[in-house]
């Protein structure tokens, strides 16, 4: 007597070991079908081997047909993947919630449009190093109203027009990654949703006007603006309006001034981690403001800050009551005696010499 279909599905769902699931599918064709329709994710990992990503092009359509209930698809490192292959994703229109197309350089706005017009339930979309334009983003915004997470890192053809479309079109955006999109200056964030809490904008050429628009949503909790190309016209004072900010990465922003640091310290009272490594223009006034105002600060990065001195360290020692970790190294105006006095008074603070590039929650975890 054969077991009912629903019963077999329930049995398969209780198998958590991959080898057990594979053995289940090898039993017979019917059980293989159960295995296929129960599969929820497909991930083709990045490879430098040309034979590997050539095989992706050959078999991805077959795999998408075999697994009709996929909710998550990741195709990484396939630079020759053509638009027509993406058409197979349209069969997943009712189930697909997460799509990643990292380094699929041949995907155009046309291919992306084919997918998003059908797969309107997308919540997470990664287009890292794809050659899409603002036109593609406008289609995404028009059809994927539930989109929460969008990664556009190294999409060099994107400008603020595309960001405006996403800001206005998607109802509940939460995470937006635009690192190395050098056509973005920040004005596209005008009127952004208060749900937008996580923004990665490393090496973007933000202006003061763009920065002001960035904080208008009022929901920003994490912001990364680290950039060695930070303009001398970028003062950062507007960041003081981001009252809910908890993680701020300004590493390598060499033109951030005392005025900006004072404004941020006064306005962002919830800050828990602040990276100011290689911010050479921050002087005693800025460090004093951090010491007196940043009462929730737990982690502070001051590596290679030229103007951090013993007096500045004194303000940090006597303030920042919640400080747990201080990353400090290469600050030549801080004497060994000054550092020892800090350690003696603040034995509760862990002194570390490593310089961190990123802070807070990892992008990979957000798009997992």
- For 51, residues 6+ apart whose C-beta sits below 8 A from its C-beta are none
Place of tokens 């105002």: 293
On whether the CB atoms of residues 267 and 246 are closer than 8 A, the answer is no
Local structure of residue 311 (DSSP, 8 states): H
How far apart are alpha carbons 81 and 77 in whole angstroms? 9
Place of tokens 């079109």: 169
Radius of gyration of the chain (CA): 24
Architecture of domain 1-38: Up-down Bundle (1.20)
CA dihedral 183, 185, 187, 193 (to 10 degrees): 90
How far from the centroid of its chain's Cα atoms is residue 341's Cα? 38
pLDDT of residue 255: 83
On whether the CB atoms of residues 282 and 257 are closer than 8 A, the answer is yes
Give the mean pLDDT per block of 10 residues along the chain (368 residues).
Answer: 66 72 69 69 78 76 85 88 87 90 92 94 96 96 96 96 94 95 93 93 90 89 87 72 94 90 95 97 96 97 97 96 97 96 96 94 83
- Give me the residue spans of the domains in the chain: 1-38, 43-117
How far apart are alpha carbons 71 and 162 in whole angstroms? 26
Tokens of 282: 């921050």
pLDDT of residue 79: 84
Up-side HSE of residue 139: CA atoms within 13 Å toward CB?
16
Q: Provide, for the chain, the percentages of residues in helix, strand and coil under a 3-state DSSP scheme, each rounded to the nearest 5.
A: 40, 10, 50
DSSP string, 205-249: ---HHHHHHHTTTS---EEE---TT--TT---GGGGG-TT--EEE
- For 170, residues 6+ apart whose C-beta sits below 8 A from its C-beta are 141, 144, 145, 146, 147, 148, 150, 193
pLDDT of residue 1: 44
- From residue 214, give the alpha-carbon distance in Å to each of 167, 208, 225, 317: 11, 10, 11, 32
Q: E-assigned strands of the chain?
A: 41-44, 72-75, 98-100, 124-126, 149-151, 175-177, 198-200, 222-224, 247-249, 273-275, 299-301, 325-327, 350-352
How far apart are alpha carbons 294 and 314 in whole angstroms? 15
- Collapsing DSSP states into helix, strand and coil, what is residue 31? helix
Single pTM value for the model = 0.90
Phi, psi of 294, deg, nearest 5: -85, 70
DSSP string, 333-356: TS-HHHHHHHHHH-TTSEEE----
């Amino acid at each position: 007597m054969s077991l009912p279909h629903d019963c077999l599905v329930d049995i398969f769902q209780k198998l958590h070991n991959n080898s057990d699931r594979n053995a289940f599918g090898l039993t017979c064709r019917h059980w293989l079908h159960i295995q296929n329709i129960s599969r929820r994710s497909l991930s083709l990992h990045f490879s430098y081997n040309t034979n590997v990503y050539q095989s992706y092009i050959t078999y991805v359509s077959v795999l998408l047909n075999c697994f009709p209930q996929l909710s998550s698809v990741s195709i990484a490192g396939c630079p020759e993947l053509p638009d027509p292959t993406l058409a197979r994703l349209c069969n997943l229109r009712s189930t697909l919630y997460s799509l990643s197309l990292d380094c699929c350089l041949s995907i155009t706005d046309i291919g992306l449009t084919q997918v998003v017009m059908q797969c309107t339930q997308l919540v997470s979309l990664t287009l890292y190093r794809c050659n899409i334009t603002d036109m593609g983003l406008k289609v995404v915004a028009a059809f994927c109203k539930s989109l929460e997470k969008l990664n556009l890192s190294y999409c060099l053809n994107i400008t603020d027009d595309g960001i405006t479309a996403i800001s206005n079109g998607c109802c509940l955006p939460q995470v937006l990654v635009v690192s190395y999109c050098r056509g973005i200056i920040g004005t596209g964030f005008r009127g952004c949703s208060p749900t937008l809490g996580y923004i990665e904008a490393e090496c973007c050429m933000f202006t003061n006007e763009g920065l002001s628009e960035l904080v208008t949503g009022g929901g920003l909790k994490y912001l990364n603006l680290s950039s060695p190309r930070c303009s001398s016209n970028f003062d950062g004072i507007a960041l003081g309006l981001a009252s809910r900010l908890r993680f701020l990465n300004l590493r390598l922003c060499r033109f951030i001034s005392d005025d900006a640091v004072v404004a941020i310290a006064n306005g962002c009272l919830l800050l828990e981690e602040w990276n100011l490594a290689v911010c050479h223009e921050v002087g005693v006034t800025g460090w004093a403001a951090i010491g007196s105002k940043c009462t929730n600060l737990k982690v502070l990065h001051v590596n290679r800050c030229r103007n951090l001195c013993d007096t500045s360290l004194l303000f940090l020692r006597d303030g920042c009551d919640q400080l747990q970790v201080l990353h400090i190294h290469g600050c030549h105006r801080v004497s060994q005696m000054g550092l020892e006095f800090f350690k003696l008074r603040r034995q509760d603070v862990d002194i570390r010499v490593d310089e961190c590039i990123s802070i807070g929650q990892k992008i990979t975890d957000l798009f997992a």
